[in-house]
Each structure stands twice: as structure tokens, then as C-alpha cells.
Homo-oligomer: A and B are copies of this chain.
Amino acid sequence: MGLTKTEIFTDAQNEIALFAKVIGHPARVAILQQLFKLDTCFCGDLVDEIGLAQPTISQHLKELKHLGLIKGTVEGTSVYYCINKTNWLKMKTVMRQFLDQDLPDNVECC
């Protein structure tokens, strides 16, 4: 096992989970916050800013890129990363819809 049974859930449920999962690590949270703060950021800056080894940061960046939340552009020997606004907005919409579900006020809960 150790393998999520994605096939028994709806696409929407899997999408929410995937987005949430990528946010589910403080290093990736920190990277995203940096990219928002600085608009664009060289990979090396992130390694300096966050206290993790370069390969570790690179790996987290890869995951964020894979989900489309960031873009990377090569410039010389450096790569600068930035938020992919379109996909960030998409994630925001998906997550907000999930978070905003609510119980009717009158319902008495346990």
C-alpha cells in the first residue's frame, strides 16, 4: 500500500487534494511567499533565504512547477522563478470553493 486510491474519488476531490498537498510543506509555503514578496526570485536567493540544501530546494521547486504554480526562466547560469498567476488563480478558486462550504446557521451541531 502507501498508495492513494485516487480512482475511487471524483476529479474535483483529487484536484483539491493535489493542490492542498503541494502547499502541505512549509518549505513550499516559504518559497511561494518569497516569490510573492519579490515577484521574481533567483533559485540561489531561495536557497539562501530558506535554510535547506540546494538540491532540496530544487526538488520543491520542481513540484511547484509540476503543478503549474510557478514558472522558471533561464537567464545565463541562473534560473529565476515566479508565480504563474493564471494557475495560482485557478487553485485559489478551487480551494476557496472548498473552504467556503458552510453549514446552515440553524443546524445544531454536536
Q: Which residues does A use to contact B, with CB under 8 Å?
A: 4-6, 8-9, 13-14, 16-18, 20-30, 33, 36, 39-40, 50-52, 71-73, 80-83, 85, 91-92, 95-96, 98-104, 107, 109-110
Contact = CB atoms under 8 A, between A and B. Distances in A.
Give the number of copies in the complex.
Answer: 2
A4 B25 contact: yes
B29 A25 contact: no
Contacts of A29: 9, 13, 16-17, 20, 98
A33 B101 contact: yes
Given A80-B110, A85-B103, A96-B96, A9 B30 contact: yes
A61 to B, nearest CB: 14
